[in-house]
């Protein structure tokens, strides 16, 4: 299980260093499969039907359906690579290692209860932090969607690491929410591409009030 955690951490570093959305989607898919296996491996000795359902559905949603959806969006919009992120890929990797150290430090200092695994918790924290970091440092809307997925994966892993089990109906509902969310994001991405001929988030400034104040006559004048 710790091996899985290490693989997940490595997969995050791969996303941080990659400029191609296609690669990032594939990595997120692998992450999803690992995450689906996680709850099953975690309670290997006392498996219940609920855990099977949660694990398998997590695997199907996160490992297959969501990446398939993203791949679809990518093909329809033909978004190329992330050319100029706010933070360059090399720096991103370095920062990733800092974030990793930070999440390990948090996990060690959390005074976790005995049955929660510190390695898994550190990994979960790392995923959440990387997701947030990607959200802020990438320009392309598709990378933001992927960042959201990475973050959501981290939150999921956190739930597994502290062995908190929701009733599987709720768990399925959460997965469905994420699925619909990514579906909508994909749909909007498609429209963004068509309407604005770009998917750069930093160019979406038509609605900013700060701009209205700084430019003298104002947007409405």
Residue ranges in contact with another protein by CB under 8 A: 111-113, 115-116, 128, 132, 135, 141, 144-145, 148, 151-152, 155, 158-159, 162-167, 170-171, 173-174, 177, 180-181, 184-185, 188, 191-192, 195-196, 204, 206-207, 209, 213, 218-221
CB 172 → another protein: shortest distance, Å? 9
CB 59 → another protein: shortest distance, Å? 19
Token pair for 45: 């000795």
Closest CA to 35 of 128, 134, 173: 128
Closest CA to 175 of 53, 38, 21: 53
Closest CB to another protein among residues 3, 170: 170
Closest CB to another protein among residues 94, 221: 221
How far is Cα 57 from Cα 49, in angstroms, rounded to an integer? 12
CB 216 → another protein: shortest distance, Å? 12
Q: Is 140 helix (H, G, I), strand (E, B) or coil?
A: strand
Look-up: residue for tokens 């992927």? 146
Closest CB to another protein among residues 101, 170: 170
CB 90 → another protein: shortest distance, Å? 26
Closest CA to 71 of 156, 131, 16, 149: 149
Q: Is the dihedral of CA 102, 91, 153, 180 positive or negative?
A: positive
Q: Is 200 helix (H, G, I), strand (E, B) or coil?
A: strand
CB 56 → another protein: shortest distance, Å? 19
Closest CB to another protein among residues 17, 167: 167
| 208 contact partners, CB below 8 Å, separation of at least 6 | none
Closest CB to another protein among residues 76, 219: 219
């Amino acid at each position: 299980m710790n091996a899985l955690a290490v693989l997940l951490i490595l997969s995050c570093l791969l996303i941080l260093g990659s400029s191609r959305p296609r690669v990032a989607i594939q990595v997120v898919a692998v992450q999803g499969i690992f995450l689906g296996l996680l709850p099953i491996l975690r309670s290997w000795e006392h498996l219940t039907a609920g855990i099977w359902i949660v694990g398998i559905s997590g695997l199907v949603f996160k490992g297959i359906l969501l990446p398939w959806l993203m791949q679809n969006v990518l093909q329809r919009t033909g978004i190329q690579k992330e050319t100029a992120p706010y933070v360059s890929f090399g720096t991103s990797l370095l920062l990733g290692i800092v974030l990793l150290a930070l999440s390990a430090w948090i996990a060690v200092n959390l005074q976790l209860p005995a049955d929660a695994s510190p390695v898994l918790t550190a990994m979960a924290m790392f995923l959440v932090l990387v997701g947030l970091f990607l959200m802020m440092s990438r320009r392309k809307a598709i990378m933001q969607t992927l960042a959201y997925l990475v973050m959501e994966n981290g939150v999921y892993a956190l739930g597994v690491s502290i062995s908190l089990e929701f009733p599987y109906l709720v768990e399925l509902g959460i997965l469905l929410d994420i699925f619909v969310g990514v579906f909508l994001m994909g749909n909007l991405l498609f429209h963004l591409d068509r309407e604005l001929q770009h998917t750069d988030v930093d160019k979406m400034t038509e609605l900013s009030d700060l701009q209205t104040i700084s430019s003298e006559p104002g947007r409405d004048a």
